[in-house]
Amino acid sequence: MKQAKDFLSWKLTRTGLLISGTIELILAYIFGSRALDTGSYWHYLGALVFFIGTIKSYVQALKITHGKN
């Protein structure tokens, strides 16, 4: 349980948000590429979800950087 708390508190730091946002961006790219190849709506949905997660993580990191919560 303590490890989960430590991970969650680390993910809410600027570095953690930037790393998780970058991972989500990579996953969005993979899903988007796969969606273009297969035409699967599920892959398009996955790409959209990961891209929205990327934007949210980067915006949160910018808010932490500039002191706006």
pLDDT digits (tens, 9 = 90+) for 28-56: 999 999 999 999 999 999 999 999 999 99
Looking at every residue in the chain, the average pLDDT score rounds to 89
User: What does the pLDDT read at residue 7?
Assistant: 63
Give the N- to C-terminal CA distance of the chain in Å, as an integer. 27
Prediction pTM value: 0.81
Structure-block tokens of residue 41: 């709506």
C-beta neighbour count of 64 within 10 angstroms: 17
Q: Please give the average per-residue pLDDT across 13-23, as a whole number.
A: 93
